[in-house]
Amino acid sequence: MTLRLSVIGTGYLGATHAACMAELGYEVIGVDIDPAKVEILQSGRVPFYEPGLPEVLARNIAAGRLRFTTSMSEAAATADIHFICVGTPQQSGANAADLSQVFGSIQALTPHLRAGALVVGKSTVPVGTAAVLAEQLALTAPTAEVAWNPEFLREGFAVADTLHPDRLVVGVRSQRAEDLLREVYAPLIAQDVPFLVTDFPTAELVKVAANSFLATKISFINAMAEVCEAAGADITQLAEAIGYDPRIGNRFLAAGLGFGGGCLPKDIRAFMARAGEIGAEEALAFLREVDQINLRQRTHTVNLARAALDGSFAGKNVTVLGAAFKPDSDDVRDSPALAVAAAILNAGGNVVVHDPKALENAARVYPTLTYVEDLAQALADAELVLHLTEWPEYREFDPTTLGSSPRQRHLIDARNRLDPLVWRASGWTYRALGRPTA
Ligand code: UGA
């Protein structure tokens, strides 16, 4: 019999998981409290930019394997395995995660659960959450069970990461839960994807440990970039050279403006907060430094920009290339690019922001910035250009098409991806983070 799954929460994680599970052949129902989102998804469209996802979604809706609803009771009644994919944002005014969506969705689901249902958490949660949920479920739906199955997908590669993950991790308390999840992921296990079975806390910790490691790797190379700048050395050559050591590896070693998005920043903060609660605060003290190094890249970029404009932004035309927190995404959550753009606007600059995909989302968060869709137009009057999100089209852009300018124009490449020779040849001054000035 075909497995019937529900996916609760249809953001980046849930919409992708629902579409990809249907792609594996299962009957999937996606649930969200937002009727507008459900309507868009049900019509076969994706309410955010994720390459490849619209095709998978539309194909599976057309095949009748995938549908979306706002009705939790309908989802509970039609599925035996429920994946919790709701958000766990940072609490406002605190480092800890806000778990209201996790607890709220499970509370809404529980009264309608079928006997023997499996509730599988995928959201990133503080260690200990699965055990609390299991206790609650034991009281309200005694035949149902909890499992934890963290998600490692990257925005921009969400479909590939779901259908061809590096590994699958399941935290379970029974053989039955393990068997059910082995059945769900059988097509991936058959492709030799490692399948690791753990207890609840280990599964929960794997996720935050992985994101902490990635954040640390980025802040490490950015700390080296600061030293390179002080010493007159070149961070891109340093990163390439250390990256050849396979123990270090060259991925996630791109120095620049640092990390943002809906995951790494809030996950390391929530991890520190949780470690404090369980008496392991000291073990994660280094993550505070990781966070600070990361935020320092933003201030440093603003300072370099001010220096390029002779010490003041007042009345100066500054063009920011990039609004998304990374390329191939329209996500602007904790976007380093927008943080820098907003700081320069506040300091009196005339800031124009360009991004191939994220302008609508950016305008919602920072309505006072000026957004321009055409790249050449965005660059036309710039005295200073800041390259803050490394979309391929910025690297491909030919600065000679901008013609010559009566005044000196400056470029700061905060992602170390543009070609200094090309820009300098067109009369621009070029400055990058962690590299010699000339
Ligand atoms: C991250 C993790 O990579 C995923 O494995 C994880 O599943 C996900 O969070 C999550 O917790 O849901 P994501 O937030 O999509 O994925 O973005 P990343 O590709 O990890 O990039 C994060 C940030 O680091 C971006 O702002 C990017 O510009 C920055 N970055 C990345 C660097 O500054 N340097 C690098 O070398 C790599």
Q: How far apart are the first and last CA of the chain?
A: 67
Cα–Cα distance for residue pair 123/87, rounded to 1 Å: 7
Q: What is the mean pLDDT of the chain?
A: 96
Structure tokens at 284: 């994660």
- The 3 state secondary structure assigned to the chain is CCCEEEEECCCHHHHHHHHHHHHCCCEEEEECCCHHHHHHHHCCCCCCCCCCHHHHHHHHHHCCCEEEECCHHHHHHHCCEEEECCCCCECCCCCCECCHHHHHHHHHHHHHCCCCCEEEECCCCCCCHHHHHHHHHHHHCCCCEEEECCCCCCCCCHHHHHHCCCCEEEECCCHHHHHHHHHHCHHHHCCCCCEEEECHHHHHHHHHHHHHHHHHHHHHHHHHHHHHHHHCCCHHHHHHHHHCCCCCCCCCCCCCCCCCCCCHHHHHHHHHHHHHHCCCHHHHHHHHHHHHHHHHHHHHHHHHHHHHCCCCCCCCEEEEECCCCCCCCCCCCCCHHHHHHHHHHHCCCEEEEECCCCHHHHHHHCCCCEECCCHHHHHCCCCEEEECCCCHHHHHCCHHHHCCCCCCEEEEECCCCCCHHHHHHCCEEEEECCCCCC
Residue nearest to atom 30 of ligand 1 (CA): 259
Each residue's pLDDT tens digit, 172-219: 999 999 999 999 999 999 999 999 999 999 999 999 999 999 999 999
Q: Please name the amino acid found at residue 20.
A: C
List, in order, residues 6 or more apart from 282 with CB less than 8 Å away. Answer: none
Which whole number is the average pLDDT over 213-236?
98
Q: Are residues 152 and 278 in the same domain?
A: no
Q: Are residues 417 and 269 in the same domain?
A: no
- The set of protein residues with a Cβ atom below 6 angstroms from ligand 1 is 124, 151-155, 211, 214, 218, 252-254, 256, 258-261, 263-264, 267, 325-326
What pTM does this model have? Answer: 0.96
69 within a domain of the structure (yes/no):
yes
Q: State how many domains the chain has.
A: 3
Query: Relative to the CA of 153, which ligand 1 atom is closest?
Result: 7
pLDDT at residue 147 greater than cutoff 80: yes
Residue nearest to atom 6 of ligand 1 (CA): 152
pLDDT at residue 22 greater than cutoff 90: yes
Answer yes or no: are the C-beta atoms of 114 and 77 closer than 8 Å.
yes
Single out the catalytic residue among 20, 85, 228, 263.
Answer: 263
Q: Are residues 23 and 100 in the same domain?
A: yes
Give the pLDDT of residue 403: 82
Instruction: Report how far ligand 1's centroid is from the alpha carbon of 430 (Å).
Output: 27
Residue nearest to atom 23 of ligand 1 (CA): 259
322 within a domain of the structure (yes/no):
yes
Q: What are the residues facing 82 on neighbouring strands?
A: 6, 119
Cα–Cα distance for residue pair 155/432, rounded to 1 Å: 26
Give the pLDDT of residue 407: 77
Taking Cα atoms as reference points, which of 141, 130, 66, 83 lies closest to residue 107?
141
Query: Relative to the CA of 218, which ligand 1 atom is closest?
Result: 34
Instruction: Report how far ligand 1's centroid is from the alpha carbon of 258 (Å).
Output: 10
Q: How confident is the model at residue 406 (pLDDT cuts 50, 70, 90)?
A: low
Q: Are residues 169 and 271 in the same domain?
A: no
* Dihedral Cα 379, 385, 388, 391, nearest 10 deg: 30
Q: What are the residues facing 120 on neighbouring strands?
A: 83, 147
Instruction: Report how far ligand 1's centroid is from the alpha carbon of 259 (Å).
Output: 7
Residue nearest to atom 22 of ligand 1 (CA): 259
Cα–Cα distance for residue pair 266/304, rounded to 1 Å: 27
Query: Relative to the CA of 262, which ligand 1 atom is closest?
Result: 14
Ramachandran angles phi, psi of 119, nearest 5°: -105, 115
Q: Are residues 382 and 331 in the same domain?
A: yes
- Annotated active-site residue 263? The verdict is yes
Answer yes or no: are the C-beta atoms of 50 and 38 closer than 8 Å.
no
Q: How confident is the model at residue 228 (pLDDT cuts 50, 70, 90)?
A: very high
Q: Are residues 110 and 192 in the same domain?
A: yes
pLDDT at residue 277 greater than cutoff 70: yes
Instruction: Report how far ligand 1's centroid is from the alpha carbon of 216 (Å).
Output: 11
Among 134, 165, 197, the domain boundary falls at 197
- 353: domain CATH number? 3.40.50.720
- Domain holding 327, by residue range, is 292-432
Strand duo 195-198 + 66-69: pairing: unpaired
What radius of gyration do the chain's Cα atoms show?
A: 23
Each residue's pLDDT tens digit, 354-377: 999 999 999 999 999 999 999 999
Q: What are the residues facing 171 on neighbouring strands?
A: 148, 198
Q: Are residues 87 and 140 in the same domain?
A: yes
Give the pLDDT of residue 402: 87
Cα–Cα distance for residue pair 148/22, rounded to 1 Å: 20
237 within a domain of the structure (yes/no):
yes
Instruction: Report how far ligand 1's centroid is from the alpha carbon of 264 (Å).
Output: 7
Ramachandran angles phi, psi of 351, nearest 5°: -100, 125
437 within a domain of the structure (yes/no):
no
pLDDT at residue 303 greater than cutoff 70: yes
Among 289, 311, 336, the domain boundary falls at 289
Instruction: Report how far ligand 1's centroid is from the alpha carbon of 96 (Å).
Output: 20
Q: How confident is the model at residue 404 (pLDDT cuts 50, 70, 90)?
A: confident
> From residue 279, how far is each of 273, 325, 389 by CA, in Å?
10, 33, 38
pLDDT at residue 34 greater than cutoff 70: yes
Q: Are residues 134 and 155 in the same domain?
A: yes
pLDDT at residue 438 greater than cutoff 80: no
Which whole number is the average pLDDT over 403-411?
83
Cα–Cα distance for residue pair 251/348, rounded to 1 Å: 37
Q: Please name the amino acid found at residue 415.
A: R
Give the pLDDT of residue 119: 98
Answer yes or no: are the C-beta atoms of 402 and 376 closer than 8 Å.
yes
Q: Are residues 139 and 169 in the same domain?
A: yes
Q: Are residues 349 and 361 in the same domain?
A: yes
Query: Relative to the CA of 152, which ligand 1 atom is closest?
Result: 7
pLDDT at residue 286 greater than cutoff 90: yes
265 within a domain of the structure (yes/no):
yes
Cα–Cα distance for residue pair 300/336, rounded to 1 Å: 12
Q: Are residues 149 and 130 in the same domain?
A: yes
- 212: domain CATH number? 1.10.1040.10
Among 269, 289, 309, the domain boundary falls at 289
181 within a domain of the structure (yes/no):
yes
Each residue's pLDDT tens digit, 71-115: 999 998 989 999 999 999 999 999 999 999 999 999 999 999 999
Query: Relative to the CA of 207, which ligand 1 atom is closest?
Result: 11
203 within a domain of the structure (yes/no):
no
Q: Are residues 415 and 364 in the same domain?
A: yes
List, in order, residues 6 or more apart from 74 with CB less than 8 Å away. Answer: 29, 31
351 within a domain of the structure (yes/no):
yes
Answer yes or no: are the C-beta atoms of 426 and 401 closer than 8 Å.
no
Give the pLDDT of residue 176: 97
